[in-house]
């Protein structure tokens, strides 16, 4: 069995398949072959830098806010239990994920635009810094958050549910938090 693809390669394929003209690709494999043939292996790494840089603020903020909110709730209301309950965990996950998304979304937007830019005929090579400047110059600072609402609809429930599963698995495995 071949090793799994790094997650940014499927992101490139997803972006290209989303933006394709009708009939441009027959499927995922055809899209991958076409990108490789016409643009080379480097095309699969478009947006890699903002993707990696975006992980740092997202994960750090998300985890820190989640643990802070959960522990604050437990200190105030959880005198007799270490289990805050599903609704509290969902609320903490929602708040923490929202804050992480707000902090890291401009990098995700630039990553997606870098991946999409290569599919535009005659487009200049997109750099992370160049795209930031372009977006701010044309759309202002709000332009860095274009499309964040659909992203919230996708990410916030997933992260919130992940935290509920995480806490329940810790409990089931007997892992004790300090």
Residue-level pLDDT at 39: 86
Q: Are residues 69 and 27 in the same domain?
A: no
* Tokens coding 106: 């401009």
Name 67's Cβ contacts closer than 8 Å, sequence gap at least 6.
none
CA angle 136, 10, 6 (to 5 degrees): 100
Q: Are residues 22 and 52 in the same domain?
A: no
Q: Are residues 31 and 53 in the same domain?
A: no
| Residue pointed to by tokens 């804050």 | 99
Q: Are residues 38 and 59 in the same domain?
A: no
The radius of gyration of the chain from alpha carbons, rounded to an integer in Å, stands at 20
* Tokens coding 8: 């940014």
Whether the full predicted model's pTM is greater than 0.85, yes or no, is no
Task: Establish if 178 belongs to a structural domain.
Answer: no
Number of structural domains the chain divides into: 2
Residue 105's domain comprises 47-173
Q: Are 96 and 159 in contact (CB under 8 A)?
A: yes
Residue-level pLDDT at 171: 87
CATH number of the domain where residue 69 is located: 1.50.40.10
Q: Are residues 150 and 114 in the same domain?
A: yes
Q: pLDDT digit of tens for each residue in the chain (178 aa)?
A: 555 556 667 888 988 888 888 888 998 999 999 988 988 888 888 888 998 899 999 999 999 999 999 999 999 998 777 788 899 999 999 999 999 999 999 999 999 888 887 656 656 667 899 999 999 999 999 999 999 999 999 888 899 899 999 999 988 998 876 6
């Amino acid at each position: 069995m071949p090793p799994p693809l790094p997650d940014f390669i499927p992101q490139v394929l997803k972006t290209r398949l989303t933006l394709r003209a009708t009939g441009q690709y027959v499927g995922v494999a055809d899209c991958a072959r076409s990108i490789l043939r016409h643009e080379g292996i480097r095309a699969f790494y478009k947006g890699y830098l903002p993707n990696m840089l975006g992980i740092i603020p997202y994960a750090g903020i998300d985890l820190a806010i989640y643990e802070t909110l959960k522990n604050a709730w437990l200190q105030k209301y959880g005198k007799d239990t270490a289990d805050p309950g599903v609704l509290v965990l969902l609320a903490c996950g929602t708040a923490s994920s929202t804050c992480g998304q707000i902090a890291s979304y401009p990098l995700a937007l630039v990553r997606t635009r870098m991946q999409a830019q290569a599919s535009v005929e005659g487009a200049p090579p997109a750099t992370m810094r160049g795209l930031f400047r372009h977006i701010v110059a044309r759309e202002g600072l709000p332009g860095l958050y274009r499309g964040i609402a659909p992203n919230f609809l996708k990410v916030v429930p997933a992260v919130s549910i992940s935290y509920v599963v995480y806490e329940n698995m810790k409990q089931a495995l007997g892992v004790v938090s300090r």
